[in-house]
Amino acid sequence: MAELKTSLGSDPYLALAQSYGQSAFAYSSAAAEPPRGCYPGGPGGVGLDFHPSSNPLGKAAESSGGEQSGDDEEEEEEEEEACFEAAKGGKLKAGGGALGPPGKKPKEQRSLRLSINARERRRMHDLNDALDGLRSVIPYAHSPSVRKLSKIATLLLAKNYILMQAQALEEMRRLVAYLNQGQSLSTPLPAATLTPFGQAAAVYPFSGTALATCPEKCTAFSGAASALCKHCNEKP
DNA sequence: TAGGCCATCTGGTCCT
DNA sequence: AGGACCAGATGGCCTA
């Protein structure tokens, strides 16, 4: 674990993640960010009526498998059309390139371009769904009064959370091994027991009691309790 | 108003 | 050939 600490200590993203996590708690805007642009309900007013399934992986398979119904495809094409027109009118950026490969009729080129755009949009929606799923399992303040974690903050917090869990697991294994040897907990603890965040942690970090508070546990494991755990912010 | 974050479009590349 | 993936560009919304 020493090498883990070392690698984390030199990781520029660690501090960034922690600052992100803390700033996430500082946000106080009323609700989650509304969709924007041509995303459903966005200010562009061009709702795509995208209905993601609850399983990102399944949906990804569906996307790649081309299982979309004809109606949905048509609907999406219409919305794509709307976005395209908006882009042409300068309301949205549509890039500067040609609409499709050369050697095809302009209408075919455009049709191809539209289908590529729709595919890419679906792909990004799948990615966002997966990120939402990740947010739902990361311990942070899931509350309507707290702004949704940004993509980068989600990824960085997830990374730290995984490291934290791995550390906790390692501590538990050590504890089990220790107890199996029939040794007392009062024995001086190994000095090399460090959390990924560089704090010294006991083999059993909660002062020998199973009634440790959440902030106590979180602080012992991460050193960033309030930034990572919603329970740390809950009123008793 | 600047900066952060985001959705979208687009062309290129790689893979099946 | 078609689809997935990626990165650059652009413009909109929101917050400090």
CA of A194 to C1' of C6 (A): 38
Average pLDDT along chain A: 54
Q: Which amino acid, one-letter code, is at A194?
A: L
A50: tokens are 């995208």
Closest residue by C-alpha to C1' distance, nucleotide C6 = A120
A64 touches strand C (CB under 7 A): yes
Of A14-18, A67-71, A90-94, A210-214, the range with the highest mean pLDDT is: A14-18
Q: How far apart are CA A129 and CA A144, in angstroms?
A: 18
| Interaxial angle between packed helices A12-26 and A151-180, expressed in degrees from 0 to 180 and rounded to the nearest 10 | 110
Cα dist. A38→A35, A91, A101, A117, A177 in Å? 8, 11, 25, 12, 56
CA of A29 to C1' of C16 (A): 12
A130-148: average pLDDT? 81
Q: Which nucleotides of C are covered by protein (CB under 7 A)?
A: 3-16
Amino acid A183: pLDDT: 64
Amino acid A172: pLDDT: 96
Q: State yes or no: pLDDT of A232 exceeds 50.
A: no
% of chain A with per-residue pLDDT over 90: 8
Q: How far apart are CA A180 and CA A218, in angstroms?
A: 26
For A67-122, how does the pLDDT look when each residue is reduced to its tens digit (9 = 90+)? 333 334 444 444 444 444 443 333 333 333 334 445 566 777 778 888 888 888 88
For A142-151, how does the pLDDT look when each residue is reduced to its tens digit (9 = 90+)? 777 778 888 8
CA of A47 to C1' of B7 (A): 12
A33 touches strand C (CB under 7 A): yes
